[in-house]
Amino acid sequence: MNTRVKQLVIGLLGCALSFFMLFLGLWQMEVFQSQADNSAAARASSPAVDLEENLVNNKVGDLYGRQVSAKGTWLAGPQFLVGTEYPLQVVGALRTEGGRTLTVVRGSIPKGASIPKPPRGKASVTGVILPTQAKESVPLPADAPQGTLGSVRLEQLAQSWPAPMIDGFVTQSAEASAAQSLGATSPEIPDIGGGKTRNRGYALQWWAFAGFGFVATAVAVRSVGRSTTAG
């Protein structure tokens, strides 16, 4: 077997093995992400717990991503439109029975629609509670009403509603939104780290092995060439 053939065989085998290890790493990472998604979905669909009864020092704590419920009355104060495209989300505030202000995504409205006033009297809100959204420099619709926000930022909303503010917001169900003459809005369930860490560790290990395999293959191919030249 001449040198070129030897180098070709070593290169093909080494690359094939390295690509296989790379694939194993990708597979392990997919398993990790799938577990995280399933865990987040299961958490979000679990039975609702009373929000105020489970606050820790007036903080949401580890309730993020869970179904919660709260009772109170809707504030007649300012309502906000949020979003980067139509339909825009309608964000209002519920003054809870415990005297706190809960930010609520009431639903959505299409382009040109006016915001329906929140219902009067006692109300109950149920939905997944999420943390404040990051400040983002995102373009708003060119014809968005003045005052439209790019994201649900509680720090910004707190300037218009009474304290104390609960450090999380809830998105109403489609049924609750329809009852207020609003369109449905789906919450973006956060990654709560539900994937098993060992699967992510396996992925990193396989990728490290793959990288080593490519390097070792290159060294082996070059060594065959050198040994033949020396001989």
Rounded Cα distance, 186 and 54, in Å: 24
- Of the candidates 64, 59, 65, 123, the residue with the CA atom closest to the CA atom of residue 96: 123
pTM, entire model: 0.66
Q: What is the pLDDT along the chain (231 residues), one digit of tens a residue?
A: 677 777 777 778 878 887 877 776 676 676 555 555 555 565 666 788 999 999 987 788 888 888 999 999 999 889 999 998 999 999 999 999 999 999 999 999 999 899 999 999 999 999 989 999 876 667 888 888 988 999 999 999 999 999 999 999 999 999 999 999 999 998 876 555 544 556 567 667 767 877 877 788 788 778 776 665 555
Report the interhelical angle of 3-44 vs 197-230 (nearest 10°). Answer: 170
Burial 156-184 (b: 16+ CB within 10 A, else e): ebbeebeeebbbbbbbbbeebbeebebbe
For strands 49-50 and 67-74, give the pairing: parallel
Rounded Cα distance, 129 and 64, in Å: 5
Q: What are phi and psi of 213, to 5 degrees?
A: -65, -45
Strand partners, 71: 124
Rounded Cα distance, 91 and 33, in Å: 31
Tens of pLDDT, residue by residue over 134-174, are: 766 678 888 889 889 999 999 999 999 999 999 999 999 99
Q: CA-based angle 91:144:185, to the nearest 5?
A: 35
Taking the alpha carbons at both ends of the chain, their separation in whole angstroms is 15
DSSP string, 8-70: HHHHHHHHHHHHHHHHHHHHHHHHHHHHHHHHHHHHHTSPPEETGGG-BTTB-GGGTTSEEEE
Q: Which amino acid is at 196?
A: K
DSSP H stretches of helix in 107-187: 154-157, 174-179
